[in-house]
A and B are shown apart, each in its own frame.
Chain A
C-alpha cells in the first residue's frame, strides 16, 4: 500500500531518483501541452487560448479522482499523503501576488523551467526574477513572519471548509470543470485569433 517512500518500502536515496523521473515526465508533458510558450499560457486571460484551464483542471481532477479510488481500494494510505496546511491570509495574499506575477511575466515557476529548457530567454530571465523575489522575501522575513503564520486552519480539507461531503464536492468540481470546458470552447470561437 502506498505511499511507498513514506513507509520505507522504497529507501531514502531512491526518493531522489523518483523525483528526477517524475520531473522528467512533468517537464515532458508540460512542453508537449505548449506550456513552454508564455503567449500560449497568457491566452487563458484574454480568451484566445484556454490550454491552461484545460490541462490544469483535467490534471487536478485526474489526480483527485485517482487518489479517491486508490484510497477506496486501499492502495494508498491518505493519512500519509502530504496535505498543504491552510494559513488563509498568507495563502490569499501569496496567490494574489503570484497572479499579478503571472499576468506580468507570463509564466509560473514550473512552466518557466520547462520553457527555459527549450531556449526561451524570457523564461530564463523569469527564473532569475524568482531567485531575486525569494531572496527579497528571505532578507525581509522578520517583517512577514507573523503574517505568514496567521489564520492557521491546519491541514483542513476544502469539503470540510464548505460543509460538504467529500464525494459531493468531487462531483461538483467535475461538473464545474465540464461546464468550463464547454463554455471556454464557445468563447474561444468568438474571440479574435492571436498569432504567436
Chain B
C-alpha cells in the first residue's frame, strides 16, 4: 500500500510521541505540573469578562476566582505555555513549508459547513473542558502521566464518545 504523500512529510509518530513525552516529563520535573491548553482560553475569557463587566465578574464565582488577586489572569502559566505552542507550531510549520491560510475540509463538504462544524466543536470542547477540569492535554494526557483516575476517565470518555458519534459525523470527514 502506498504511503500517503503528505503523511510521509510528518515525523514518525512514535518518535513524536516519545519527544512529546519527554517535554511532558520535563514540565513535571521543572515546574511540578503537566501541559495544558484550555486553561489559557479560560484566562482570556475571565480577563475579557472582568474588563467588559467588572461588577458582574466580581459577583460570579467562576469569573471572580481569576480577578480577585489583583494581577491580570493573563499572567498565568498556561497563557505563557500556549503562546509558546503558537510560536513552536509556527516555526515547525515554516520549516516544513506548511504555512498557508486555508480552511481544511473534506471534498464532500463546503468550507462554510466545515467552519460551522469547527465553531460548534469548539463550543462543545469549551463547555466540556470546564466540566472535565481540563482538556485532552491538561486532564487526559497529563493526568494519565501521573496515573490519576481523572486522567483515565477523561481519556476514555473523550475518545469513547468520539468513536460513538463517528458514524453519524462521517460526512464531515470521509
A interface list, Cβ under 8 A from B: 2-6, 10, 15-34, 36-40, 42, 44-46, 48-51, 54-64, 66-67, 70, 75-76, 78, 80-88, 90-123, 125-139, 141-142, 144-145, 147-148, 153, 155-161, 166, 169-170, 181, 189, 193-196
Contacts of A17 in B (CB 8 A): 80
Query: Does B85 contact A81, Cβ atoms closer than 8 Å?
Result: no
Query: Does B10 contact A32, Cβ atoms closer than 8 Å?
Result: yes
* Contact of B157 (CB < 8 Å), options: A51, A92, A118, A147: A92
* Contact of A31 (CB < 8 Å), options: B96, B141, B142, B159: B96
Query: Does A51 contact B124, Cβ atoms closer than 8 Å?
Result: no
A22, closest chain B residue (CB) = B27
Q: Which 4 A-B pairs have the closest CB atoms?
A: A105-B121, A129-B122, A133-B126, A23-B84
Query: What string of 1s and 0s marks CB contacts (under 8 Å) between B29-61 and chain A?
Result: 111111111100110111011000000000011
By size class, the interface of chain B is 35 or more
B157, closest chain A residue (CB) = A95
The distance in angstroms between the C-alpha atoms of A17 and B90, with both chains bound, is: 18
B interface list, Cβ under 8 A from A: 1-2, 4, 6-7, 10-11, 13-14, 16-38, 41-42, 44-46, 48-49, 60-63, 75, 77-78, 80-93, 96, 98-106, 114-115, 117-166, 169-170, 172-174
Query: Does A119 contact B99, Cβ atoms closer than 8 Å?
Result: yes
A31-B92, A39-B106 known; A106 vs B63 contact (CB < 8 Å): no
A22-B35, A102-B158 known; A55 vs B13 contact (CB < 8 Å): yes
Query: Does B139 contact A84, Cβ atoms closer than 8 Å?
Result: yes
Query: Does B124 contact A95, Cβ atoms closer than 8 Å?
Result: no
Can you give 11 contacting A-B residue pairs, CB < 8 Å?
A: A23-B86, A23-B87, A23-B88, A26-B20, A28-B91, A50-B13, A85-B133, A91-B133, A105-B125, A106-B173, A193-B1
The distance in angstroms between the C-alpha atoms of A96 and B153, with both chains bound, is: 10
* Contact of B44 (CB < 8 Å), options: A112, A131, A160: A131
A46-B170, A63-B28, A99-B164 known; A117 vs B93 contact (CB < 8 Å): yes
Query: Does B22 contact A98, Cβ atoms closer than 8 Å?
Result: no
The distance in angstroms between the C-alpha atoms of A70 and B99, with both chains bound, is: 38
A14 to chain B, nearest CB (A): 9
Interface centre among A21, A57, A86, A103 (most CB of B within 10 A): A103
The distance in angstroms between the C-alpha atoms of A68 and B148, with both chains bound, is: 13
Interface centre among B33, B137, B150 (most CB of A within 10 A): B150
Query: Does A5 contact B31, Cβ atoms closer than 8 Å?
Result: yes
Query: Does A104 contact B117, Cβ atoms closer than 8 Å?
Result: yes
Contacts of A103 in B (CB 8 A): 121, 161-162, 165-166, 169
The distance in angstroms between the C-alpha atoms of A159 and B151, with both chains bound, is: 12
A29-B16, A40-B7 known; A109 vs B135 contact (CB < 8 Å): yes
* Contact of A100 (CB < 8 Å), options: B84, B91, B92, B161: B161
A64-B145, A94-B128 known; A119 vs B100 contact (CB < 8 Å): yes
B151 to chain A, nearest CB (A): 6
Query: Does B166 contact A45, Cβ atoms closer than 8 Å?
Result: yes
Query: Does B85 contact A157, Cβ atoms closer than 8 Å?
Result: no
Contacts of B125 in A (CB 8 A): 97-98, 101-102, 105, 107-109, 126, 129-130, 133
The distance in angstroms between the C-alpha atoms of A196 and B174, with both chains bound, is: 10
